[in-house]
Chain A
Amino acid sequence: MSLKDTCIVTIDDTPSIRTFLKISLENKGAKVHEAANAQAGLKLVQDVSPDVVILDLGLPDKDGLDVLPEIKQSSGVDHTMQVIILTVRKERQVQETAFERGADAYVTKPFLMEDLLETIEERVNASH
Chain B
Amino acid sequence: MDQGKQQHTIVCIDGHPKTMMLLRIAARRAKDTGCTWSALFVETPNFYRNDESLREQILRFLTAAKEMGASIHQIEANDIVSGVREHLKECEENGTLPTHMLLGETKRDGIWALLNPSTARKIERALHHRIELRTVPLTRDHEVPETTLASTAIRQSVKLSEIGYGLLAVFIAYLATETLRMVVPRIVFLLNDHNVSLIFLIACAFTAGRYGLIPGLIASLTSFFAINVFYIEPLYQLRLTGPTEAINLLLFLFAALILSLFGSYNRAHARAIAQRARRTQALYDIQTVVSKATTRSEAFTLLYERMQKWISMDLAYFLPNALSPDDLEAAIPEEVALDALSLKARDLCWQELRATGAGTPIIKEAAWRFEPMATELGDIGVLGIKIRNARNLDAAFGKLHAALAQKSAIILERLELAQEIQETRISEEREKLRAMLLSSVSHDLKTPLASIIGSLSAYHSMYDSLPDEQKRMLTATALDEAQRLDSFISNILDMTKIESGDIRFKREWCSPDEIVATVAKRLRQRLTHHTLTIERLKDRIEVEADQMLLEQVVQNLLDNAAKYAPAGTEITVSMTIDDHDAFTFSVRDRGQGIPDGEQDAIFDKYTRLKKTDSKVAGTGLGLAICKSIMEGMKGSIAVYNHEKGGAVFQLKLHNWRDADEARKEKIA
Complex CA gap A23/B459 in Å reads 10
Q: Are B465 and A111 neighbours in the complex by a CB distance under 8 Å?
A: no
- Which of A58, A63, A109, A114 has the largest number of chain B CB atoms within 10 A? A109
Interface residues on A, range: 20 to 34
Chain B binding surface SS class: helix
- B-contacting residues, A1-59, CB 8 Å: 13-14, 16-17, 19-21, 23-24, 27, 58
* In the bound complex, CA of A16 to CA of B455 (Å): 9
Q: How far is the CB of A45 from chain B (nearest CB, A)?
A: 21
B351 at the interface (CB under 8 A from A): no
Q: Considering the chains assembled together, what is the distance between the CA atoms of A19 and B471 in angstroms?
A: 12
Of chain B, the residue at the smallest CB distance from A89 is B443
CA distance A61 to B611 in the complex (A): 11
- Contact partner of B443 (CB less than 8 A), chosen from A17, A61, A88, is A88
A23-B612 Cα distance, complex, nearest whole Å: 31
Alpha-carbon distance A73/B443, docked complex (angstroms): 29
Q: How far is the CB of A49 from chain B (nearest CB, A)?
A: 26
Q: A19-B477, A24-B462, A88-B442 are in contact. Are A14 and B617 (CB under 8 A)?
A: yes
Among the interface residues A16, A17, A63, A112, which one has the most CB atoms of the partner chain B within 10 A? A16
User: Which of B447, B470, B477 has the most chain A CB atoms closer than 10 A to its own CB?
Assistant: B447
CB of B614 within 8 A of chain A? Answer: yes
Q: A20, B480: Cβ atoms under 8 Å? A: no
Contact bitstring B443-471, A, C-beta under 8 A = 1, else 0: 10011111111110110011001100010
The reply on A60 being an interface residue by CB < 8 A is yes
Query: Do A21 and B613 form a contact, CB below 8 Å, given A16-B480, A88-B443?
Result: no
As a 0/1 sequence over residues 92 to 128 of chain A, the CB contacts with chain B under 8 angstroms (1 = contact) are 0000000000000000011111101000000000000
A20–B455 CB distance below 8 A: yes
How far apart are the CA atoms of A27 and B458 in the complex, in Å?
A: 10
> Is the CB of B176 closer than 8 A to any CB of chain A?
no
Nearest CB on B from A114, distance (A): 4
B615 interface contact, C-beta 8 A: yes
Q: How far is the CA of A23 from the CA of B474 in the complex (A)?
A: 8
In the complex, are the beta carbons of B466 and A110 less than 8 A apart? no
A23: which B residues are within 8 A, CB to CB? 458, 466, 470, 473-474
B481 at the interface (CB under 8 A from A): yes
Contact in complex: B450, A17 (CB < 8 Å): yes
Partner of B451, one of A13, A17, A63: A17
Residue ID in chain B nearest A25 by CB atoms: B458
Q: How far is the CA of A60 from the CA of B461 in the complex (A)?
A: 31
User: What are 24 of the A-B contact pairs (CB < 8 Å)?
Assistant: A14-B450, A16-B451, A17-B451, A19-B455, A19-B474, A19-B477, A21-B454, A24-B462, A27-B465, A27-B466, A27-B470, A58-B614, A60-B613, A60-B614, A63-B612, A88-B447, A109-B447, A109-B454, A110-B449, A111-B457, A112-B457, A112-B461, A113-B455, A114-B457
Top 3 A-B pairs ranked by shortest CB distance? A109-B450, A113-B458, A110-B450
Residues of A within 8 A of B (CB): 13-14, 16-17, 19-21, 23-24, 27, 58, 60-61, 63, 88, 109-114, 116
